[in-house]
Structures are given as structure tokens and as C-alpha cells.
Amino acid sequence: MSIPTARWALVFSLALLTGGCAWQNSDTVERLDALVTTSRFEARLGRLETSLAARCEALDGAQADQRQALTGLRRAVQGVGRRVSRLNDDVTRLTRDTVVEVPECPAPRSPELADKEVLGRSEWIGLPTIGTFLKARIDTGANTGSLSAREITEFERDGEDWVRFKLALDDEAVVADAARDTWIEARITRRVRIIQAAGEESRPVISLPLALGPIEQNVDFTLNDRSHLTYPVLLGRRFLMDIAVVDVAREYLHERPEYPSEPPADAT
């Protein structure tokens, strides 16, 4: 081998050695970089797992404390409810034991009123000879009572003045059915002069038996048509005198009189 040839062979060998080392160093660096990145990731992941586990453990402890506190609070509320219930029972028992019912005593009457019957401003009355009941207004401002009548006809019988009439009632009036269209005859006891805005008139007065609660007596009535008024009967001072007083705050203090031909009051 000549000297130039040997020289070129040496150069080529050195080049091969140098290039092989460079390639080998580059692979090693890449593998080292990959190894370093993986270890860092795994270390960081481990730290995260440790932190998460610590947080979960702390959360479990807090939840356990809350459950324990809630259980204690529920027991305390139940205890308060039981005490309140016992207090209510005690209050009810004390109220029942201490309340004293005092019977209502009737208001004392003066000696002048002791033997008089108390009437309301409105009462049921009975007319036994006619066989019916009617609603009556008690009017202390009127002197003589009044009975609602229609078809009033005066006539003479045995030298005395008599009158024939029918009850004047509207369709809503409560009355024994048999008495609505029955002719009623009575002797005229006297006459009264009535002065009104339209003038004055003379009305016949008759006397009829009347029943109102325990009161039974003859009552004087003037006859005129009251069908446009609420009450077909009016009772005045002549009826009340010496036998009754009126409590204007009350009405129908006495039961309605009954007649065999009519249903009882509680059935109408």
C-alpha cells in the first residue's frame, strides 16, 4: 500500500469512528430526556394522589362530625317537643281545674214588675174562636189593638150592631189554612175615630179572646186592612196594661199556639 492510500484509509476510519459516536450520543440523550419527563410526571401524579386522599379523608371526617351534630340536634328538638307537650297538658289541666262556671242569675225585678209577663217586640198570638194563629207586633205607642180585615160589612142583630169580615192576609202570611176565607162575625163594642193625613174615619171595635203564652183574655181590636204591612195583628197599651212588659231587644219569647187542624210549629 502506498503512503497516500494508507493516509486516506486512516482518515476514513477516523471519520467512521467519529460519526458512530455522535449517533450513539444522540439516542442516549433522547432516552434520558424521556426518562426524566416520565419520572417527573409519575412523581407529580403521586403527589396529587396523596393530596386527594388527604382531602377525601378530611371530608369524610367533616361529614361524620356533621352527622353526629345533626343527630344531637334532632334529639334536642324531640326533647323540647316532649316538654312543650307536657306544658300544654299542664296548662289545660290547670285551666280546667281553675275555671269556675258561675250560673247566670236572672236580673232582679222590681216589685212592680214581679207579676208581669215579659213579651218580645214580636210574638205569636192565637185567636181561639177563629181557630188560627198570627204574628203580632207589640206597639206601646198604640192605644187599641188592630186586626187585619177585608170585606168589612156592618149589620144589625137583635137590636145590636154587628160586623162580618174575613182576615186580610197576603200569600206569605203564616195562618191556619181554614181561617183564610172564613167569614167571622162579632158584636161591635164601640167605635174609634182615626185621624190620618188623608182625613179621618170611624172604625168598628170588636172584642175577641186572645192567647199569648200564659196570657188568655179578651182584647179589643179595630178592623182595617193591614195586608200591606208585615204583621196582621197589632197589640197596643190596652192589652199590655197591668199584665205585661216589653223587651224590645227580643222577639218570639213564647211558643206559637197550636190547633188540632194544623201541623205543629216545628213542622212548618
At 144 the three-state DSSP class reads coil
Closest CA to 168 of 235, 232, 236, 234: 232
Phi-psi region of 146 (alpha: psi -120 to 50; beta: other; left: phi over 0): beta
In this structure, of 9-18, 90-99, 149-158, 251-260, the range with the lowest mean pLDDT score is 9-18
Cβ atoms of 127 and 219 closer than 8 Å: no
pLDDT of the residue at 186: 96
pLDDT of the residue at 3: 47
What is the average per-residue pLDDT within 226-249? 92
How many C-beta atoms surround the C-beta of residue 14 within 10 A? Answer: 10
Bridge partners for 213 per DSSP? none
- According to DSSP, residue 121 is labeled S
pLDDT of the residue at 38: 78
pLDDT at residue 80 greater than cutoff 70:
yes
What is the average per-residue pLDDT within 127-148? 93
Closest CA to 207 of 189, 231, 234, 194: 189
Three cell numbers written together for 111: 216589685
pLDDT of the residue at 8: 47
pLDDT at residue 20 greater than cutoff 60:
no
Q: Which residue has the higher pLDDT, 171 or 23?
A: 171
Q: Which residue has the higher pLDDT, 36 or 60?
A: 60
pLDDT at residue 263 greater than cutoff 80:
no
Where along the chain do its domains lie? 1-101, 117-267
At 114 the three-state DSSP class reads coil
pLDDT of the residue at 11: 46
Backbone angles phi, psi at 157, to 5 degrees: -140, 120
What is the average per-residue pLDDT within 135-154? 94
Question: Which residues make Cβ contacts (< 8 Å) with residue 240, sequence separation at least 6?
Answer: 119, 138, 140, 246
pLDDT of the residue at 105: 57
- The alpha helices in the chain, defined as continuous H runs, are 3-98, 237-240
pTM of the predicted protein model: 0.56
At 177 the three-state DSSP class reads helix
Name the average pLDDT for the chain.
Answer: 81
Question: Which residues make Cβ contacts (< 8 Å) with residue 122, sequence separation at least 6?
Answer: 135, 136, 137, 138, 231, 251, 252
The residue to which cell 199584665 is assigned: 243
pLDDT at residue 156 greater than cutoff 60:
yes
Look up residue 16 and give its amino acid. Answer: L
Closest CA to 171 of 161, 162, 180: 180
Query: Does domain 117-267 fall into CATH 3.30.70.1430?
Result: no
Three cell numbers written together for 178: 181554614
pLDDT of the residue at 184: 96
Band (268; pLDDT cuts 50, 70, 90)? very low
pLDDT of the residue at 102: 61
pLDDT of the residue at 188: 96
Three cell numbers written together for 190: 164601640
